Amino acid sequence: MIRSHLKLPGIEKLTDSGFCKVVQLGADGLDYILFGNECDYHASILGFFLSSSDLSFNYGPGLEIDLSSGDGRWNVYGMGKLIIRPDSGMIYFTGDSTDYGTGIDRDHVERMKSVLESAGYTDVSCSSR
Protein backbone atom coordinates (compact mmCIF):
# COMPACT_ATOMS: atom_id res chain seq x y z
CA MET A 1 0.00 0.00 0.00
CA ILE A 2 1.23 3.50 -0.78
CA ARG A 3 0.59 6.54 1.35
CA SER A 4 2.16 9.96 1.37
CA HIS A 5 2.79 11.96 4.51
CA LEU A 6 2.42 15.64 3.69
CA LYS A 7 1.89 17.19 7.10
CA LEU A 8 5.06 18.28 8.86
CA PRO A 9 6.01 21.55 10.55
CA GLY A 10 5.98 24.39 8.04
CA ILE A 11 4.48 22.37 5.20
CA GLU A 12 0.77 21.65 5.24
CA LYS A 13 0.65 20.75 1.57
CA LEU A 14 2.74 21.31 -1.50
CA THR A 15 1.06 24.41 -2.89
CA ASP A 16 3.98 26.85 -3.07
CA SER A 17 6.66 26.78 -5.72
CA GLY A 18 10.17 26.33 -4.46
CA PHE A 19 12.45 23.86 -2.75
CA CYS A 20 11.98 21.58 0.23
CA LYS A 21 13.83 18.68 1.82
CA VAL A 22 12.52 15.15 1.34
CA VAL A 23 12.95 11.77 3.02
CA GLN A 24 11.79 8.63 1.19
CA LEU A 25 10.64 6.09 3.76
CA GLY A 26 9.01 2.71 4.12
CA ALA A 27 7.24 2.01 7.43
CA ASP A 28 4.95 -0.83 8.47
CA GLY A 29 4.39 -1.88 4.87
CA LEU A 30 3.61 1.61 3.54
CA ASP A 31 5.70 3.94 1.39
CA TYR A 32 6.00 7.57 2.45
CA ILE A 33 7.40 10.82 1.14
CA LEU A 34 8.22 13.08 4.07
CA PHE A 35 8.54 16.79 3.32
CA GLY A 36 10.23 19.48 5.38
CA ASN A 37 11.37 23.04 4.93
CA GLU A 38 14.51 23.67 2.89
CA CYS A 39 16.46 24.55 6.04
CA ASP A 40 15.33 21.46 8.02
CA TYR A 41 17.77 18.64 8.60
CA HIS A 42 16.80 15.28 7.14
CA ALA A 43 17.21 13.84 10.66
CA SER A 44 14.61 16.32 12.00
CA ILE A 45 12.10 15.42 9.31
CA LEU A 46 12.63 11.70 9.90
CA GLY A 47 12.66 12.00 13.71
CA PHE A 48 9.40 13.98 13.77
CA PHE A 49 7.63 11.35 11.66
CA LEU A 50 9.04 8.36 13.58
CA SER A 51 8.22 9.80 17.01
CA SER A 52 4.71 10.89 15.97
CA SER A 53 4.11 7.40 14.54
CA ASP A 54 5.41 5.59 17.65
CA LEU A 55 8.23 3.99 15.66
CA SER A 56 11.39 3.37 17.66
CA PHE A 57 14.76 4.82 16.69
CA ASN A 58 18.15 5.64 18.17
CA TYR A 59 20.50 8.52 17.60
CA GLY A 60 23.93 7.77 16.18
CA PRO A 61 26.92 10.10 16.34
CA GLY A 62 25.91 13.74 16.38
CA LEU A 63 22.25 14.41 15.78
CA GLU A 64 21.80 11.84 13.02
CA ILE A 65 19.30 9.03 13.50
CA ASP A 66 20.84 5.57 13.31
CA LEU A 67 19.22 4.21 10.14
CA SER A 68 19.70 0.63 11.33
CA SER A 69 17.63 1.20 14.49
CA GLY A 70 14.19 0.58 12.97
CA ASP A 71 13.70 -2.98 14.26
CA GLY A 72 12.54 -3.93 10.77
CA ARG A 73 9.49 -1.65 11.00
CA TRP A 74 10.95 1.18 8.92
CA ASN A 75 13.73 1.92 6.49
CA VAL A 76 14.94 4.94 4.58
CA TYR A 77 15.10 4.57 0.80
CA GLY A 78 16.58 7.99 0.02
CA MET A 79 16.96 11.64 0.95
CA GLY A 80 17.40 14.85 -0.98
CA LYS A 81 15.45 17.89 -2.15
CA LEU A 82 12.33 18.58 -4.17
CA ILE A 83 11.83 21.30 -6.71
CA ILE A 84 8.11 22.04 -6.82
CA ARG A 85 6.09 23.95 -9.41
CA PRO A 86 2.41 23.28 -8.60
CA ASP A 87 1.14 25.67 -11.28
CA SER A 88 2.69 23.49 -13.99
CA GLY A 89 2.25 20.17 -12.15
CA MET A 90 6.01 19.63 -11.89
CA ILE A 91 7.84 17.94 -9.02
CA TYR A 92 11.50 17.02 -9.35
CA PHE A 93 13.46 14.89 -6.86
CA THR A 94 17.17 15.72 -6.73
CA GLY A 95 20.23 15.98 -4.52
CA ASP A 96 21.24 14.00 -1.49
CA SER A 97 21.84 14.16 2.24
CA THR A 98 25.43 14.98 3.09
CA ASP A 99 24.89 13.83 6.69
CA TYR A 100 23.68 10.38 5.63
CA GLY A 101 25.54 9.99 2.33
CA THR A 102 22.43 8.91 0.46
CA GLY A 103 20.51 10.43 -2.44
CA ILE A 104 17.14 10.07 -4.09
CA ASP A 105 15.92 6.52 -4.72
CA ARG A 106 14.54 6.29 -8.27
CA ASP A 107 12.51 3.11 -7.57
CA HIS A 108 10.71 4.80 -4.66
CA VAL A 109 9.85 7.79 -6.87
CA GLU A 110 8.35 5.39 -9.42
CA ARG A 111 6.28 3.65 -6.72
CA MET A 112 4.99 7.02 -5.47
CA LYS A 113 4.25 8.45 -8.91
CA SER A 114 0.55 7.56 -8.84
CA VAL A 115 0.11 9.29 -5.46
CA LEU A 116 1.82 12.42 -6.74
CA GLU A 117 -0.15 12.36 -9.98
CA SER A 118 -3.42 12.09 -8.06
CA ALA A 119 -2.34 15.24 -6.19
CA GLY A 120 -1.98 17.08 -9.51
CA TYR A 121 1.71 16.51 -10.20
CA THR A 122 1.69 15.14 -13.73
CA ASP A 123 5.36 15.88 -14.43
CA VAL A 124 7.22 13.74 -11.86
CA SER A 125 10.92 13.09 -12.39
CA CYS A 126 14.20 12.64 -10.56
CA SER A 127 17.91 13.08 -11.09
CA SER A 128 19.87 9.98 -11.95
CA ARG A 129 22.04 8.37 -9.33
Q: Where do runs of H (alpha helix) occur along 33-125?
A: 42-52, 106-118
Q: How far apart are CA 16 and CA 26, in angstroms?
A: 26
Residue 30 is predicted with a pLDDT of: 84
Which residues 6+ apart lie within 8 Å of 21 measured at CB? 35, 36, 37, 38, 40, 41, 42, 45, 79, 80, 81, 82
Integer Rg of the chain from CA: 14
Domain ranges of the chain: 18-126
Residue 13 is predicted with a pLDDT of: 54
* Beta-bridge mates of residue 75: 26
Digit-coded pLDDT (tens) for 87-126: 898 999 999 998 899 999 999 999 888 888 877 889 999 9
Amino acid at 84: I
**3-state secondary structure at position 129:** coil
CATH number for 18-126 (one of 3.40.50.1000, 3.40.50.2020, 3.30.70.20, 3.50.20.20): it is 3.50.20.20
What is the pLDDT averaged over residues 35-62? Answer: 85
36 or 21: which leads in pLDDT: 21
Q: What are phi and psi of 27, to 5 degrees?
A: -150, 125
Q: How far apart are CA 35 and CA 13, in angstroms?
A: 9
Task: Say yes or no to pLDDT of 129 above 80.
Answer: no
